[in-house]
Structure 1
Amino acid sequence: MTLCAWQLLANVALDTRQDELTVPLLLAVGLLTFILWWYYRKRERINMLRELAEEWNWEFIEEENDRIPPELENVPMAEDFIFLCRQRICGVQDGINIAIFDLTVFEFKISKNFTYTALALRHPDLDLPLFTLKHRTKFEDGLQENRGVQFPDDFEFTQQMRIDALDYAAVRKRLTQEFRDLIRNEDDISIIGNRDTLFIHKYPGHLSRDEIERSLKQGIGLVKALLKKDQRMSASSSGD
């Protein structure tokens, strides 16, 4: 819609050359239209998140700064990124502390902004080794040295995902079949696990309400799968 408006303004400007004020005036009107459209979309997004928080009896927080939210204190952030958290909703479900963010990320290496919705799920019984998991790009498919953590019994997952970690053996034990099935065939998913936190996002763009609800359900399932593994490991250790 905005593109069509700009095209219409340009055509009118070209057809009305007799008045020197016409072009600047039309450009000003176009700029004002864009600002109003941007503001409307922003408020629409905020209202959607606020309504979602009220429906779930969660807390809605609106702020715009470059301070890393406390919910992400255990998520290592790369030094070549700037995170801008615009708004978030926080709550507890099934004993899991959950925060859903709208984030804008600036990556210095490529001088580009990314905007996406992310989830941070924390549980005191999680004790994850540091790892990152993301959907493998076509470029990475041809790089044998980037295979990362491999699952001999799950070649399909090994081909789909790239996992980086300091302790591959520990991560391989934690990512059970149940965990892998929950993210199998997910495009553009990125996960960071560390200590008591699982950080999940898909990019680019903000998630819709339906997508947020689906991602929340998926994230809770992933945490529960990790907790089940911990419980089995603890039971096995006790039996020994």
Structure 2
Amino acid sequence: MTDGFEFTRDGEVARLTFTRPAKMNAITYGMWSAIPEVVAEVEADPALKVLVLAGAGEHFSAGADISEFGELRTTAEGAATYDKAVEGAVAALTALRKPSIAMIQGNCIGGGCQVSVACDFRFAAEGSRFGITPAKLGIVYHFDSTRQLVSLVGPAHAKYFLLSGELIDATRAREIGLLNEVFPADGLEASTLRFAGTLCSRSQASVRGMNRIIEKIVAGQQESDAEVEEIRLAALHGEDYAEGVAAFLDRRPPRFTYR
């Protein structure tokens, strides 16, 4: 595993933890580059159903490790190479069919916020802070990440984030749609894992199929296509559908088997 990460499994839930607390879990080029490998491992493991991203210590992540920029982003070519690694990490998280949850405490800024927005869900502790700060560095934000942000909070709030670089607290982030839920700090992990358990209990054929369809809608697709119809047809003929209907009629919890 790349320095700066810890990857663990707890039953059906995988956890990727940023482990640079002395640097507020700033994300290095090596960490950006390794995220697609971790995501692929989660996607390929039939025992895993959910990925949780977290930060060690007091913060989720203060963003990209800017101390590397003097070496890695001093030329247009170097900046393009660095950005490709960031874009690859975002694309991998976005395309993950299994649900991903960012479990956030402390600072979630810049690239850290970019990672969280690429996840399916964002749960945060009271007192967390959020911001995206390219305007403080003379950087124009990545197109796909900008689209994801706009889809979450709308263009007015996205402009506030990106053009001002100002930070907001968890309460405001929840109000504008950046966060799904806000919890007391001492209840964040239990609440996040409880929701992860809920996701694990649902039909994985439904969860992964709908996750893919939502991804296509966020990317701008406006009508169904052959892939969408295949996803829906496969679910209709799958064991989970038969079990879900039978469980409903029998008034019992379903026992889904799709992996």
- What interval of TM-score do these two structures reach, taking the shorter chain for normalisation? under 0.3
Q: Give the number of the structure whose residues are more often strand, by fraction.
A: 1
Q: Give the number of the structure whose residues are more often helix, by fraction.
A: 2
Higher Cα Rg, which structure: 1
- Normalised by the size of structure 1, how large is the TM-score? 0.25
